[in-house]
Amino acid sequence: MDAFTKALKKVPSFQIEPRMFLPTAKAEESYKAVWKSQIARVLHQHIAQPQSAAKAVPLDPPPVKKISSTPPEIKMLMLMDAPENSAKGLRKTFLVAYN
């Protein structure tokens, strides 16, 4: 719940920018390297051999950073009917989330 509370405090000043949805330069390079290695593997197996192994594109893609396999601890908020007084409803929602 501490993370939820911290996140709510940041909301008023948080700005969403398009660059947040774009891949980083590092991710883009990794993506290109995977494509190149796959194409190089097919060419190597079916069409031609490189003249120089030192200058050839690697046949194996770069390693992928592994993520944890443990399930995250997620708390679900109950959906509630909208009350007459929205302040009361908001308070009720936060109390459920807090407990």
Cβ–Cβ under 8 Å, residues 56 and 40: yes
Can you give the residue ranges of every domain in the chain? 22-66+73-98
For the chain, give the mean pLDDT: 83
Q: What is the pTM of this model?
A: 0.52
Task: Round to whole Å and give the CA distance between 81 and 71.
Answer: 30
Q: Which has more confidence, 46 or 75? A: 46
**Residue 83 pLDDT more than 80?**
no
Instruction: Note the pLDDT of residue 39.
Output: 94
**Residue 98 pLDDT more than 80?**
no
Q: What is the mean pLDDT of residues 31-42?
A: 94
Q: What is the mean pLDDT of residues 15-43?
A: 92
- The number of helices, as runs of H, and strands, as runs of E, in the chain is 3, 0
Instruction: Note the pLDDT of residue 77.
Output: 67
Which of the listed ranges 3-7, 39-43, 93-97 does the model predict with the highest average pLDDT?
39-43
